[in-house]
């Protein structure tokens, strides 16, 4: 039995970046920070922060791009994916990403009433419908 599932609740570290893939699909990339608070043996309170690179595909990517903003609380559910590649310089590179499969939006950043600028919608040019003469239909 195998399982690759992660659940994170944190704050978005940067506005999502939407890009089109060569196959025509969309991908959104964004960062998420999670905090861990603990006490040392001496009773001192400590806090560590982990930063996660997240990606989402398809319709979920479009939703994230449209509604999610930096500083917002976000619940992300997905899987961990490790990628390796070779740079043009010949160096090996790697990254660890959370492939987002589900998410829920939480509170916006404290003191922020800002909303993201809406993305420009692609306008489809309207075509004029010509009147159809029933007598001209060949069947």
pLDDT tens readout for residues 66-110: 999 999 999 999 999 999 989 889 999 999 999 999 999 988 876
| Model confidence at 118: pLDDT above 60 | no
How far apart, in Å, are the Cα atoms of 112 and each of 35, 52, 106, 115, 126? Answer: 20, 23, 13, 8, 39
Domains within the chain, CATH numbers bracketed: 6-122 (2.40.50.140)
> Rounded to two decimals, what is the model's pTM?
0.73
- Residue 138 is predicted with a pLDDT of 53
How far apart, in Å, are the Cα atoms of 15 and each of 2, 18, 72? Answer: 33, 10, 9
Note the pLDDT tens digit of each residue in 30-73: 999 999 999 999 999 999 999 999 999 999 999 999 999 999 99
Q: Are 53 and 97 in contact (CB under 8 A)?
A: yes
Half-sphere exposure (CA, 13 Å, Cβ side) for 91? 3
């Amino acid at each position: 039995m195998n399982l690759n599932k992660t659940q994170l609740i944190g704050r978005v570290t940067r506005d999502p970046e939407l890009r089109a893939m060569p196959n025509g699909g969309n991908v959104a990339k964004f960062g998420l920070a999670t905090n861990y608070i603990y006490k040392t043996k001496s009773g001192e309170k400590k806090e560590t922060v982990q930063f996660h690179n997240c990606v989402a595909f398809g319709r979920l990517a479009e939703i994230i791009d449209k509604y999610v903003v930096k500083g917002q609380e976000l619940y992300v559910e997905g899987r961990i994916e490790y990628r390796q590649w070779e740079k043009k310089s010949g160096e090996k590179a790697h990254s660890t990403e959370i492939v987002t499969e589900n998410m829920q939006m939480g509170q916006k950043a404290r003191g922020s009433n800002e909303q993201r600028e809406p993305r420009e919608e692609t306008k489809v040019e309207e075509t004029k419908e010509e009147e159809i003469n029933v007598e001209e239909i060949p069947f």
